[in-house]
């Protein structure tokens, strides 16, 4: 039913971030911080020992990163005009988990629920442009994997995108399978990065 691939383990730190909203690190609560040097925000939460973190990537950063991977100007601009985040998912529990982004949703303040944009969505949108294999591979590897299996301690990261206007606030409903049961957590009150162009 869910096909997944494995990830590797790492210890992560947020030493560069200054805490701006004080929320106890209890199960299911969202913590918010802002990088002192860039002003970009991070949101993170732990639900049943499954950790999710989203860090804003500014439009200029997204544009520069994608240009460096060889995408054409039109594709770079389309990507940079969405809400882009560096996303980290980590399994701190004692049992394996599986996730598939097709089961994740984002929910806007008016209650509208929608699927996030995945690398498959982007490549389908850009299919007529016929990227070279190296360009396509570079883009795919930068994006958050669409589905994976994590053993205890495993983690992965990559870019995620949400097709929303600047300044929009939303919640991320993330789901995973563990011990044959579908589990879920919520990352609350995430905000789209400010555009600098």
Q: 149, 193 in Cβ contact below 8 A?
A: no
Given a cut of 90, whether residue 116 has pLDDT beyond it is yes
Burial of 176 (0-12, 13-18, 19+ CB in 10 A): buried
**Positive or negative, the Cα torsion across 138, 64, 15, 176?**
negative
**Global confidence as pTM:** 0.83
**Positive or negative, the Cα torsion across 29, 189, 84, 58?**
negative
Q: What is the pLDDT of residue 195?
A: 59
Q: What is the pLDDT of residue 20?
A: 32
Distance of CA 84 to the CA centre of its chain: 8
pLDDT tens digits, one per residue of 93-108: 999 999 999 999 999 9
Neighbours of 13 (CB within 10 A): 6
Neighbours of 119 (CB within 10 A): 21
Which tokens is 141 given?
Answer: 């590897």
| Measured CA distances, 21 to 18, 145, 173 (Å) | 9, 29, 21
pLDDT tens digits, one per residue of 119-132: 999 999 998 888 89
pLDDT tens digits, one per residue of 135-193: 999 999 999 999 999 999 999 999 999 999 888 999 999 999 999 999 999 999 999 98
Share of the chain above pLDDT 90, in %: 76
Which tokens is 14 given?
Answer: 């947020």
Given a cut of 80, whether residue 18 has pLDDT beyond it is no
Q: 160, 85 in Cβ contact below 8 A?
A: yes
């Amino acid at each position: 039913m869910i096909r997944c691939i494995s990830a590797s383990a790492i210890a992560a730190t947020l030493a560069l971030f200054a805490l701006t909203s004080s929320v106890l690190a209890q199960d299911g609560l969202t913590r918010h911080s802002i990088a002192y040097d860039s002003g970009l925000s991070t949101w993170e939460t732990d639900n049943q020992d499954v950790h999710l973190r989203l860090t804003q990537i500014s439009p200029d950063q997204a544009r520069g990163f994608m240009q460096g991977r060889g995408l054409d100007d039109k594709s770079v601009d389309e990507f940079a005009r969405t809400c882009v985040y560096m996303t980290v998912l980590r399994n701190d529990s004692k049992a394996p988990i599986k996730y598939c982004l097709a089961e994740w949703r984002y929910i806007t303040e008016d209650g509208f629920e929608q699927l996030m944009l995945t690398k498959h969505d982007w490549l389908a949108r850009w299919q007529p442009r016929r990227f070279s294999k190296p360009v396509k591979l570079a883009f795919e590897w930068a994006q958050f994997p669409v589905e994976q299996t994590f053993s205890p301690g495993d983690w992965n990261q990559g870019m995620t995108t949400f097709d929303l206007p600047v300044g929009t606030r939303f919640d991320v409903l993330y789901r995973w399978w563990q011990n044959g049961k579908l589990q879920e957590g919520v990352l609350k009150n995430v905000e789209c990065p400010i555009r600098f162009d």
